[in-house]
Chain A
Amino acid sequence: MDRPARAVLTRIALVIPQLIGLTALVFLLVRLLPGDPVISRLGGVAPQESIDNLRHKLGLDLPIHVQYLNYMKGLLHGDLGDSWRTAQPVMEDIKMRLPATLELLILGMGIAVFLGLLVGVISAGKPGGLVDRLTILYALLAGSMPEFYIGLILVFVFYVTLGVAPAPAGRLGIAMLPPPRLTGMYLIDSVMAGQWDTFRDALRHLALPVITLSFWQAGAIMKMTRSTMLQIDESDFINYARLVGVKPSIMRRYTLRNALPPIISLAITIFAILIGAVVLIEQVFSWGGLGQYSVQSVISADYEAVTGFLMIAASISLLLFIVMDVLYALIDPRVKL
């Protein structure tokens, strides 16, 4: 079996035990938290009988490993239990809200990577130059501020002061109806349905939160791109290319290609960071996505919803890290898994 295939299979083989460990961890985490979900839902004055009834109904009177096995059985069928707060199955709640969050994450990530690479390459081309110094300053400042604060600044400047952005109150204006649901992402759905007004409105509402997310972390990608490219610039094969007289544009392409592995792992780490940050951004912009759902669930002690959300978010992160490891091994022949 050749190297790439072996690398991929080895890493994938680890997925199952890690996923099982992860689900067990999340399950334990929520179940072992202090506070009794039954009492907090029924109130302190409820009669013992109703407490026992609810406890039995929720399956909380079973030993914990039995609870876990039942939960996993349900998980494999796509059943994450019912949310106490919304009275809907958690899976339905998540399916409704996931596209909103994904739209933010994909766009935010895309712009961050694009800007980061672009400015990073320009910076590396002229180390010590104006673009370079401004970039370093910007990366330092943006990374030091809380992401929700950046969102608030943007709201204040563009909505309150300049009046060019819509109010931070969701994905569409009050008078707009969402497009017929294909993917749940308004940009795609409105284009597919030919509703250009809706498309424009969705775009306007997406602008500020996406800019917040991307500008917050683009600095990190810029710095990494810049420093990796400068490092590679000093390597033997680039020096050789320079001596031999290869065109600078071609050299830049080769430098970038060799600089990609650490940039890719940083990008994936940043994606995981953004998954966490999107929760706060959704609060600021009342986005109605998974982030807000998780905050509301935690505040109302909705254990099923919280467990469901954590399972999904943690599994996505785990898969991302595995993809990262595999990609790194595939791209860089020197790395051993």
Chain B
Amino acid sequence: MDGVKRLSGTLGRDVRYLVGFFRARPLSVVGLVLVLIFVSLMVFGRSLAPYDPEKASSDFLFPPGPKHWMGTDRAGLDVFSRILVAPQVDLTIGLSAAALAVLIGTPLGVISGYMHNWYGSTIARVFDVLQCLPPFVVAMCLVAFAGQSVSNVIIVIALLNSPLFVRLVRSKVHSVQERKFVEAAACLGNSKWRIMFRHLLPNSLEPVLIQFPVNAGWAILLTSGLSFVGAGVRPPTPEWGAMIAVGAPLLVTGQWWVAMFPGIAVGLCVLGLALSANALEILLDPTRR
């Protein structure tokens, strides 16, 4: 700890704070570790997989054992390898869709929150109506009719998730715009657009940052649901939801491993994201330190 104390001023204090923070909150550590694992799998999964995740073999329906740690499915595909490679699709879709939703929703939320004229409230009303559409069915339609590609899935999920960010940013902007520095900026002659994007936006990002991992988690759940009904990414691309779909009929005949393991993987990934969001929430709030 001596080396840490000698670090310049606030850096040392911050590091010590973080160490204490994580010591007191083991769940946060679990969350961050899980996210790190899955992000690494997203990048390195393919090289870590013992078998080719898309190449069929003659080892059909092996239960978990020394040769195939998580068993194989009806086509002889190794479940463990497919689970390792799936984050490449699932996590990419999840993170990209959430990021895109943020990119769409945040500026619209700022405009809607600050502009008290007709188009500010119209944006709010339009997104109000958008959120009434059952997201899963709409996603299913859009992807089924527009073509089942990874980019389509990302765009559709992002569009469906953006109303949430519009609402979130809008209400944060409502409170931020009451603060003195905004009043000062207006007095100094800043244009509305400059106030919105130079002052309001950066100060309204906190709830967005906290919601981002949660949203990525929902995107992953939505993707796996889409693949489960066959409206998501096409086989044989390894994707957790599609793996569960393949394994579902096999459950009834007792081959539980094909469906059960991918489900655990999804659960852990989304859990990690949710726990990280909780940790972020506490870290970013100066009143709870």
Interface residues of A (CB under 8 A from B): 14, 18, 21-22, 25-26, 29-30, 33-35, 140-141, 143-149, 152-153, 155-156, 159-160, 167-168, 272, 275-277, 279-280, 283-284, 294-295, 298-299, 301, 306, 309-310, 313-315, 317-318, 321
Contacts and interface: CB of A to CB of B under 8 A. Distances in A.
B110 interface: no
Given A34-B146, A309-B137, A317-B134, A152 B244 contact: yes
B228 A29 contact: no
A148 B260 CA distance: 12
Nearest to B217: A144
A148 B228 contact: yes
A313 B137 contact: yes
Contacts of A280: 136, 225, 228-229
A294 to B, nearest CB: 5
A318 B132 contact: yes
B230 A299 contact: yes
Given A152-B259, A299-B230, A321 B251 contact: no
B175 to A, nearest CB: 16
Nearest to B228: A148
B52 to A, nearest CB: 26
Given A149-B267, A279-B136, A280-B225, A160 B142 contact: no
A22 B132 CA distance: 8
Interface in B229-274: 229-231, 241, 244, 248, 251-252, 254, 256, 259-260, 263, 266-268, 270-271, 274
B36 interface: no
Nearest to A283: B229
Contacts of B263: 145-146, 149, 152-153
A276 B271 CA distance: 21
A276 B135 contact: yes
Given A30-B141, A149-B263, A152-B248, A140 B275 contact: yes
Interface of B: 125-126, 128-138, 140-142, 144-147, 217, 221, 224-225, 228-231, 241, 244, 248, 251-252, 254, 256, 259-260, 263, 266-268, 270-271, 274-275
Contacts of A30: 141
A160 to B, nearest CB: 6
B255 to A, nearest CB: 10
> Which of B125, B128, B230 has the largest number of chain A CB atoms within 10 A?
B128
B76 to A, nearest CB: 22
13 contacts: A22-B132, A25-B129, A141-B267, A144-B267, A146-B263, A149-B259, A152-B263, A276-B134, A276-B135, A279-B134, A301-B144, A317-B131, A317-B134
Contact of B141 (A141, A167, A298): A298
Contacts, number: 138
> Which of B131, B132, B146 has the largest number of chain A CB atoms within 10 A?
B132
A152 B137 CA distance: 21
B32 to A, nearest CB: 15
Nearest to B251: A156
- Interface secondary structure of A, over-half rule: helix
B281 to A, nearest CB: 12
Given A144-B271, A279-B136, 7 more contacts: A30-B141, A33-B145, A144-B217, A146-B225, A160-B251, A306-B141, A309-B137
B106 to A, nearest CB: 21
Contacts of A22: 129, 132
Given A144-B267, A314-B134, A152 B251 contact: yes
A34 B141 CA distance: 10
B251 A317 contact: no
Contacts of B259: 149, 152
Contact of B132 (A14, A153, A295, A321): A321
Given A21-B126, A280-B228, A145 B270 contact: yes
A26 B137 CA distance: 12
Contacts of B271: 140-141, 144
A137 to B, nearest CB: 9
A280 B221 CA distance: 12
A140 to B, nearest CB: 6
A190 to B, nearest CB: 27
A146 B224 CA distance: 8
A318 to B, nearest CB: 4
List the 7 shortest-distance A-B pairs measured between CB atoms, nearest first: A144-B270, A149-B263, A33-B145, A317-B132, A144-B271, A276-B136, A276-B134
